[in-house]
Structures are given as structure tokens and as C-alpha cells.
């Protein structure tokens, strides 16, 4: 009985954990490695295990850094079931199909350069056909139902409050009369996130695998975030310019629509025309609606009153490219929500081209912007940006709204762990080294927790007493 760490070990993306029990193998998540090009190339490397020998996968949520290598797993011979929440299954259809589309674009771009260098072409990481085959393996679960997935292996999903369908996974492993309970936090939501329920608290575990993305940071309070948004919308004169909001299609967009619905009068949103300019975000919003029984108490109360919490009287959907292009002619009074979230691609770049050089434009940055992205350059105050080979002056006002995060801050992570009885040992994952180190110190100092920070390839023998644990690195020579 053991766990092996094959992803999100001392880094944020590429989640992948292998459990072995009674001769069966189960993966928890199989995510894409994202970030710098040299990191992303690692997605092309073979898996460190034989995918054909994996009996099942449990998927915490649909985000690509948790689900994105599933098509590669299937391509490499995996034949089992992929168990996930029903909303995650629906979101995976959108996100994995989009990932195949991006992979095709990447390969095409690469191949144009390679051809000029006389190099042979590369294949896309995976194709739409690989994704369609992968989707056939998905099986939908509900929160709270304990399911025996293999002899000696049972799981239960609990609401993680991170995006719709996101789950904390409880796993029971039984072998030779010994049972161990592991709890994977997955990505843990930020308490108070609009529309979603707060992460569920769990009391019992023999080992906790905890994300640590914001292990060294705290978010701004929701009150001050709403106050900031209110100020921008009420003080910007709709008659002058447009407001552009780059946003991720799944999660952030729906939270924004919901916040707009909730604060519609207070923020004076009736003076604007609001455009959701992203086919993917439009589809994701439909998935949110289809699973509205998962909404939190406030949003459920709206539903009970007959209100659609994702509807606005002046919201226009523009899935077709021509509708999107028509927005270029609007000089004032439009709020445009478009992807991509970090401005690296998608329609937001076209809206920048038509608006960013105008001083009456406002840009609202509502999500995390990674190093090296266009979004990050804007946040850092770039005076000029380049789009399609053309240099543009940034005269628009850039606002950064820091509080809208889909991840728990340090205190949220701390409190969630502190709720476990008996302080089980905890492995920190999904974090940069400083974030993990900071959280580890707090958990050790204030809760006397036993904290491990596994590196890639680490193995824990779970049949040993789970105190004073040591990570093994069988792949490394000494
Ligand atoms: Zn996530």
C-alpha cells in the first residue's frame, strides 16, 4: 500500500498521484504541466508508469492542470474508468476539447518555424479524436456518495468550493486487514466565493494531501473587493469609454456574471451594455445552469424566487466571430468579458487593439496573471504592448482586483487542515517552494503538524505506522 507523487510536487501544475493497494493502481488527477515552454515540453515525455496498468482515475476537478494529461493517458493505453463529479464531467468536455484545439494551434505554429529551419514537423500533443475517446471513460459521481471502485479501494467526493463540481477526495485503502484513509484537498476554494458553497470540512484522515498555491498569501476581504468593484463601475462614465475584462471561461466568468446580477442596481450596471464574448464561457455558463442545485444558499434563494442568478437584462452573448467583430465599432458604454484570462490569446486581444490606446478605456484584471504573460505586463504597468507585430501605447486605466481568487488563502488552508482530528501527517503539494515552506512552518509551529514536502517521484509506504514518515526516492541513485 503506497502513494507516489508524480506531479504538482514542489510546483503548482501537473497534478498526478499514484495509489497502489492490493495489486490495484489508481491515479488521483492527471494534469497538464503548464508554465514556461521548457516545463510544458515535459508533457511530451512518457509517463513514469505504464498507463495500461492503471485501473482507474479519480479526477478532483476539470481544470487543465488536473485533467489535461488524461488524453495522453488514454493514448498510452489506459482503459479504466475516470471517476469525477457530474459537473466536472460536463466541464471536462469543454476544457479538454479546447485544449485539443490549442494543441493543434501550437503544433501548427511550431511546424511553420520548423519548416523554415528544415526540421521535420511535430505532432500536436493530442487531438480532438484523443479527447473524444477520453470523454468516453468519464463516469459521473455525486458529492457524498461513498463508492467502492475496486476491491479494497473506496472513494467519496466532497465539495471543494473551487469551481463547479470541484471535489475533495476521500480515499479508503484496505489491504491485509489494514485500512488507511487519505484525503486529497484538490484545489481548495476561497470561502465566500460567489455562488459556490464553501469547502467541506472533514474530521478524519490518516494522511492529508493539501494544496498550497497561496500558502504564503492572504486574499483581500470580500467586502473590500466588492467596494473596489462598486467604485470602478459607479465612477466610470458609461458615456465615455468601454470596460474590458479578461476572464477565464470557466469559473471566473460565472462569478462575475453572478456578482453583476447581485449588485446590478448598486453598481449602476443598467447604464452599460454587457457582452459575454467567448463561446467557451457561454458554454460553461450553460453547464453552471444545468447544475444549479450545487449553488450556495444565496444563489439557491434567488432560484427559489424564480430569478436566474446568471442572467442580466442587458447581457448579450456573442458566440459568432462576426458578432465579436461588431463590438470593435462600439466606442463607449460596453462592458466586454472575453478570454483568455491572462490575455495570451483569444478575443480579448482584439478588444485591446481597438481600445487599449484610448485613455477613456478601463481594463479590469480579475484573475491571477502568471509571469511572462501579457496580462502580467499590464498589471506591472507596461506603457506599450505589442499585438500582431504592432506596438500600441497603453493609455487605458488598468485596475487589478486582487480578491477574486478561486483558491483558499493561507488562513483558509490552515483552518481547513486544523479541522482534522488528531493532526494527521500532511503532504503539501501544488505550491511554489516559498509558498509551501511558509505554510509548512505555520502548520508545524502552531499545530505541531508533521509536514512533508514531496519532490517528483517521492514514495510513501502506507503500510508502515504513519508517524515520523520518510519519503523514499527509489528512482534516484545514491
Ligand atoms: Zn483548479
The pLDDT tens digits for 173-220 are 999 999 999 999 999 999 999 999 999 999 999 999 999 999 999 998
| CA 61–ligand 1 middle distance (angstroms) | 7
Contact 88, 165 (CB under 8 A): yes
| CA 117–ligand 1 middle distance (angstroms) | 38
Beta bridge partners of 26: 19, 56
Instruction: Give 333: exposed, middle or buried? Use CB within 10 Å, 0-12, 13-18, 19+.
Output: middle
Check residues 343 and 476 and name the one with the higher pLDDT: 343
Triad 65, 70, 74: Cα angle to 5°: 165
| CA 465–ligand 1 middle distance (angstroms) | 32
| CA 80–ligand 1 middle distance (angstroms) | 23
The pLDDT tens digits for 416-441 are 999 999 999 999 999 989 999 999 99
| CA 214–ligand 1 middle distance (angstroms) | 13
User: Which ranges of 77-216 would DSSP assign to H, the alpha helix?
Assistant: 86-116, 128-135
Reply yes or no on whether the pLDDT at 280 is more than 90. Answer: yes
Hey, which bits of 203-289 come out as E strands?
207-211, 243-246, 273-276
Q: Output the pLDDT for position 477.
A: 62
Contact 448, 423 (CB under 8 A): yes
| CA 159–ligand 1 middle distance (angstroms) | 13
Grade residue 167 by pLDDT with cuts at 50, 70 and 90.
very high
Q: Output the pLDDT for position 403.
A: 84
| CA 93–ligand 1 middle distance (angstroms) | 16
- The total of other beta-carbon atoms located within 10 Å of residue 371's CB is 9
Q: Which three cell numbers stand for residue 473?
A: 526516492
| CA 320–ligand 1 middle distance (angstroms) | 28
The pLDDT tens digits for 59-94 are 999 999 999 999 999 999 999 999 999 999 999 999
| Nearest-angstrom CA–CA distance, 316 and 301 | 25
- Nearest CA to 398 out of 339, 357, 452 is that of 357
Contact 58, 155 (CB under 8 A): yes
Enclosing H/E stretch for 255: helix 252-262
| CA 162–ligand 1 middle distance (angstroms) | 7
| CA 97–ligand 1 middle distance (angstroms) | 17
Q: Output the pLDDT for position 478.
A: 54
Residue in the structure block whose three cell numbers are 502568471 = 370
| CA 187–ligand 1 middle distance (angstroms) | 5
| CA 294–ligand 1 middle distance (angstroms) | 17
| CA 131–ligand 1 middle distance (angstroms) | 19
| CA 297–ligand 1 middle distance (angstroms) | 22
| CA 467–ligand 1 middle distance (angstroms) | 30
| Nearest-angstrom CA–CA distance, 167 and 158 | 5
| CA 251–ligand 1 middle distance (angstroms) | 10
Amino acid at each position: 500500500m503506497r502513494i507516489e507523487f508524480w506531479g504538482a510536487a514542489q510546483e503548482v501544475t501537473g497534478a498526478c498521484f499514484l495509489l497502489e493497494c492490493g495489486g490495484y493502481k489508481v491515479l488521483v488527477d492527471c494534469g497538464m504541466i503548464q508554465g514556461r515552454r521548457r516545463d510544458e515540453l515535459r508533457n511530451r515525455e512518457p509517463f513514469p508508469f505504464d498507463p495500461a496498468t492503471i485501473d482507474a482515475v479519480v479526477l478532483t476537478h476539470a481544470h487543465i492542470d488536473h485533467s489535461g494529461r488524461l488524453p495522453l493517458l488514454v493514448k498510452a493505453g489506459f482503459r479504466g474508468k475516470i471517476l469525477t463529479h457530474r459537473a466536472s464531467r460536463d466541464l471536462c468536455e469543454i476544457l479538454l476539447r479546447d485544449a485539443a484545439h490549442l494543441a493543434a494551434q501550437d503544433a501548427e505554429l511550431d511546424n511553420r518555424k520548423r519548416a523554415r529551419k528544415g526540421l521535420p514537423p511535430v505532432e500536436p500533443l493530442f487531438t480532438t479524436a484523443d479527447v473524444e475517446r477520453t470523454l468516453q471513460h468519464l463516469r459521473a459521481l455525486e458529492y457524498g456518495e461513498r463508492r467502492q471502485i475496486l476491491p479494497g479501494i473506496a472513494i467519496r467526493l466532497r465539495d471543494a468550493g473551487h469551481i463547479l463540481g470541484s471535489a475533495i477526495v476521500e480515499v479508503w485503502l484496505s489491504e491485509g486487514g489494514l485500512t488507511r484513509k487519505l484525503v486529497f484537498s484538490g484545489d481548495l476554494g476561497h470561502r465566500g466565493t460567489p455562488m459556490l458553497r464553501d469547502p467541506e470540512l472533514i474530521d478524519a484522515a490518516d494522511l492529508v494531501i493539501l494544496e498550497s498555491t497561496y500558502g504564503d498569501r492572504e486574499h483581500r476581504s470580500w467586502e473590500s473587493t466588492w467596494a473596489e468593484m462598486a467604485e470602478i463601475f459607479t465612477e466610470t462614465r458609461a458615456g465615455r469609454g468601454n470596460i474590458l475584462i479578461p476572464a477565464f471561461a470557466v469559473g471566473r466568468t460565472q462569478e462575475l456574471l453572478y456578482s453583476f446580477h447581485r449588485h446590478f442596481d448598486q453598481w449602476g450596471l443598467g447604464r452599460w451594455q454587457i457582452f459575454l464574448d467567448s463561446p467557451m464561457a457561454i458554454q460553461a455558463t450553460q453547464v453552471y445552469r444545468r447544475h444549479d442545485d450545487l449553488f450556495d444558499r444565496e444563489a439557491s434563494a434567488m432560484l427559489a424566487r424564480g430569478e436566474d442568478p446568471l442572467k442580466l437584462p442587458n447581457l448579450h452573448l456573442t458566440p459568432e466571430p462576426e458578432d465579436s467583430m461588431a463590438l470593435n465599432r462600439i466606442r463607449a458604454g460596453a462592458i466586454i468579458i472575453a478570454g483568455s484570462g491572462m490575455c495570451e490569446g483569444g478575443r480579448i486581444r482584439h478588444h485591446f487593439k481597438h481600445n487599449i490606446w484610448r485613455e477613456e478605456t478601463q481594463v479590469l484584471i480579475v484573475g491571477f496573471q502568471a509571469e511572462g504573460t501579457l496580462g502580467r505586463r499590464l498589471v506591472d504597468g507596461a506603457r506599450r504592448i505589442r499585438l500582431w507585430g504592432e506596438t500600441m501605447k497603453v493609455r487605458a486605466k488598468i485596475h487589478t482586483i486582487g480578491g477574486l481568487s478561486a483558491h483558499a488563502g493561507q488562513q483558509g488552508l490552515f483552518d481547513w487542515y486544523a479541522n482534522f482530528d488528531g493532526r494527521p501527517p500532511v503532504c503539501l503539494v501544488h505550491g511554489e517552494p516559498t509558498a509551501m515552506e511558509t505554510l509548512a512552518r505555520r502548520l508545524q509551529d502552531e499545530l505541531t503538524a508533521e509536514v512533508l514536502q514531496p519532490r517528483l517521484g517521492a514514495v510513501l509506504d502506507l503500510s508502515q505506522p504513519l508517524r515520523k514518515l520518510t519519503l523514499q526516492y527509489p528512482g534516484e541513485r545514491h
